[in-house]
Structures are given as C-alpha cells and as structure tokens.
C-alpha cells in the first residue's frame, strides 16, 4: 500500500497569469455546482456523470477535456462521502482546481510546475524552501490541487505517493495517554503540559467574546471589521493547534522508532458526545470541545507509517481508572482512585501520576493485541491513514 503526502508550494504569479488562474478557478467552481444541481443526486459514479454532462461542461464553462472529467470525479467522490454520512451535497466552495498527470507536471531543474488553464498551458515558478525542495527532489508527482487563499496568493498542493517501509515486528509498545491536563503522556515519562496551551486558548476565546460583543453593539462598518478580525483569529488558533500537534506527534514517533516499539493510543471516537452529556460549565465544555485530538491522532498515524512504526488503537474504557500493577478498579462506580493528576490505588497502595498510570494500561492492552493480533480490542490506525496529509 502507498502513502500519499501533500506538499503545499506557493506559486510566483504575474498579473496576466493571475487572470488566467482566476478564470480557471471560477469556471471549475461553477461547473462543480452546475453538475451537482443538474444531475440526479443518486448518481455517484464518475463515468455516468461524465456521459451525462461532459460536452455541456466543455461548452458552457470552457474547460479542457481533462478538467471536465475532474469535475465529474470530484462531484462523484463528494456524493459518495455524503451518502455514507447520510446527508446531501448542497454546494461546492470555489477557489480550487484538481489536476492529474495530463494537466499538471513538475520540473525539478528550474523548480517550476506546468498547469492547464482555460486559456492554455502556463508554467509557474515555485516559491519554496528547503523542506519542500527536499521532499520534491527526485520525485515524479502525478496529481496536484491548485488553491487560491484569502490573501490572494496561489498555492499548488502536490501529492507525493511513496511506499512506506515495513513495520518492525517487535513486542515493545509505547503507550500514549491523551488528555487536556497533559496533551500527551507517554510510557517513557515524556509529557506535554496543557496548562500553557490552555492559557493561549483562553486568550483566543476572550478575544472572540469581546469582538462578538462589540460587533453586536457597533455600526455596520464596525461589524464588518469585527468579522474580519474574527476570521483572522480563527486562522491563528488553528495554526497554533496544528503546530503543537505536529511537534508532539513528531517526538512520540521518534521515541517509538528509537525503542523499536509500536504506538498504542486510545480510540477517542465520540468522546465529545459522551463528555458533553456530563454536567459541566460553559468554559469547561469549550476547552474540551475545541482541542483537535483527532488531528493529533492523524499526525501520529501518518508520521508512524512513514517511519515504519506500527500504530494500534485500544479501547479507552477504564484505562484511566484501572491500577496498572494490580488491575483493580474502585468498587463504587461513582468513585475513582484518580483525583486530577494523582492516582492512589486503594487495593495495592500504588500512587503516582494518573496519566502515567493510564499510559501503562494502554501499553499493556496494546501489547496483548500486538502479540495476539486480535481485532476484538483494537484496530491499527495506520491502515486507515494511508492518505493522511502533511501540511508543509
């Protein structure tokens, strides 16, 4: 199986080239919505969509043959995902175009890319750094996505397909306990304190509240300016979360690689729905719901796959309440041996860091699954993350 990583590269665009790209982006976006609105929703096959509206797309929007096919593939793919989630595809956002090997090419000798537009083929120079150059060196990419960002800049997101190394079949397992007090706590004692991160997130939340209050009381120009600031603030917080998750996931995978160990994580799917049923304050609810734990899991997954490290998801039930030396749980379902960051077992007397205890339990469950290979307790996270994307 192949792994696909996406490298985001900025394009150097002249005024004449910008006009051609804008025309292509606009035509592609209109074509997507036209096909979605003028074909039966139940059609999720790209070939059937193409037979129905291929010539109409070319005539109405002026797209090339391959870009017209890309429109049909994109609509079909979105409908398949929407069908699984049992909701319709209402509309497509504009500002992107998908390419394949016939409409996109990369040339390493001068670090340029060639793209098809509604006015013919154009070549663009890449404004990239050492990371992108290192990833693209010697590569022969076959797919890409053109994106126009809100600041007016153009980026090409190049997909690189590679064969990941085989996972090492060791018995060692690195347990990782995820949470809010500590973003992550490993079996080796590594931990990333969440208190400083919580302060930053609370700062963003306070700014949002002030801007929203000001917008509700201000003039029309004041409301417009507040909306612009709120949008910028959202981007800053999203980039902050991504930066933290990239750093944490990199350290975890490096540690597992050095130990020749697999990585065991809790499967926290549906954790927000479960915790929101508990009585909590509005602030605690926001803090719990706003952190991107799923993103951290994805980052660990694709980095582990790339490094040849096996990943395992384990059932999170009682991992934080069970004492790892004696496997004892508090007999009263409404009580626990855990109190904040401290864990004190009433059966064997062990006491220590609660997140370390959780990491030990996760590692023990992961070791059993790793040894027995049974799918009844967990599933490999890397199997479903072959197409996870890395932001440059």
- Tens digits of residue pLDDT in 280-312: 666 666 666 666 778 888 899 889 988 888 888
Contact 133, 7 (CB under 8 A): no
Mean pLDDT of the region 335-346: 85
Per-residue confidence (pLDDT) for residue 274, from 0 to 100: 61
Per-residue confidence (pLDDT) for residue 390, from 0 to 100: 35
Distance CA 388, CA 253 (A): 16
Instruction: Say whether 54 sits in a helix, a strand or coil.
Output: helix
Mean pLDDT of the region 224-245: 85
For the chain, the C-alpha Rg in angstroms (whole number) is 25
pLDDT at 141 over 50: yes
Per-residue confidence (pLDDT) for residue 19, from 0 to 100: 95
pLDDT at 7 over 90: yes
Which tens digits make up the pLDDT trace of 27-51? 999 999 999 999 998 999 999 999 9
Structure tokens at 65: 């043959």
3-state helix, strand, coil in the chain (%, to 5): 45, 20, 35
Domains of the chain and CATH, by start: 7-161 (no CATH), 173-193+247-384 (3.30.420)
In percent, the amount of the chain with pLDDT more than 70 equals 88
The residue ranking higher by pLDDT, 150 or 272, is 150
Mean pLDDT of the region 9-21: 95
Distance CA 356, CA 348 (A): 17
Per-residue confidence (pLDDT) for residue 325, from 0 to 100: 87
Which tens digits make up the pLDDT trace of 80-104? 999 888 888 889 988 999 999 999 9
Distance CA 204, CA 15 (A): 37
pLDDT at 272 over 70: no
Which tens digits make up the pLDDT trace of 45-69? 999 999 999 999 999 999 999 999 9
Distance CA 255, CA 62 (A): 53
Contact 341, 181 (CB under 8 A): yes
Of residues 168, 320, 185, the one with CA closest to residue 251: 185
Which tens digits make up the pLDDT trace of 110-124? 999 999 999 999 999
Per-residue confidence (pLDDT) for residue 386, from 0 to 100: 32
Which tens digits make up the pLDDT trace of 200-231? 888 888 888 888 888 888 888 888 888 888 88
Which tens digits make up the pLDDT trace of 347-381? 888 888 888 888 888 888 888 876 655 443 333 33
Per-residue confidence (pLDDT) for residue 116, from 0 to 100: 94
Of the listed ranges 67-76, 80-89, 265-274, 317-326, the one predicted with least confidence: 265-274
Contact 100, 70 (CB under 8 A): yes
The residue ranking higher by pLDDT, 46 or 232, is 46
Of residues 369, 256, 385, the one with CA closest to residue 312: 369
Per-residue confidence (pLDDT) for residue 86, from 0 to 100: 85
Distance CA 34, CA 89 (A): 12
pTM of the model as a whole = 0.73
């Amino acid at each position: 199986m192949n792994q696909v990583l996406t490298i985001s590269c900025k394009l150097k665009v002249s005024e004449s080239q910008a006009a051609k790209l804008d025309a292509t982006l606009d035509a592609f976006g209109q074509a997507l919505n036209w096909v979605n609105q003028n074909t039966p929703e139940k059609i999720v096959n790209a070939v059937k969509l193409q037979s129905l509206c291929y010539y109409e797309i070319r005539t109405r929007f002026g797209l090339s043959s391959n870009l017209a096919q890309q429109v049909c593939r994109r609509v079909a793919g979105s409908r398949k995902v929407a069908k699984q989630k049992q909701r319709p595809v209402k509309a497509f956002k504009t500002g992107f175009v998908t390419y394949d090997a016939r409409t996109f090419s990369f040339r390493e000798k001068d670090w340029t890319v060639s793209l098809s537009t509604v006015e013919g083929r154009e070549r663009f120079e890449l404004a990239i750094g050492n990371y992108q150059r290192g990833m693209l060196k010697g590569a022969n990419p076959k797919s890409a996505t053109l994106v126009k960002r809100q600041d007016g800049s153009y980026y090409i997101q190049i997909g690189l397909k590679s064969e990941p190394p085989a996972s090492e079949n060791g018995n060692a397992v690195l347990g990782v306990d995820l949470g809010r007090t500590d973003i992550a706590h490993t079996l080796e004692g590594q931990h990333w304190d969440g208190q400083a991160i919580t302060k930053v997130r609370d700062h963003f939340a306070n700014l949002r509240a002030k801007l929203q209050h000001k917008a509700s009381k201000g003039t029309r120009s004041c409301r417009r300016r507040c909306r612009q600031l709120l949008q910028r603030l959202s981007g800053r917080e999203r980039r902050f979360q991504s930066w933290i998750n990239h750093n944490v996931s990199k350290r975890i995978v490096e540690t597992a690689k050095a130990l020749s160990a697999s990585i065991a994580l809790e499967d926290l799917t549906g954790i927000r729905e479960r915790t929101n049923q508990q009585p909590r304050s509005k602030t605690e609810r926001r803090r719990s719901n706003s952190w991107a734990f799923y993103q951290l899991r994805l980052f660990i997954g694709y980095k582990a796959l790339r490094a040849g490290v096996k990943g395992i998801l384990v059932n999170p039930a009682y991992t934080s309440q069970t004492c790892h030396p004696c496997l004892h749980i508090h007999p009263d379902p409404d009580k626990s041996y855990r109190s904040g960051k401290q864990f004190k077992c009433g059966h064997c007397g062990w006491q220590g860091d609660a997140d370390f205890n959780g990491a030990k339990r996760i590692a023990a469950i992961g070791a059993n699954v790793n040894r027995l290979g049974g799918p009844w307790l967990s599933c490999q996270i890397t199997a479903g993350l072959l197409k996870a994307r890395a932001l440059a």
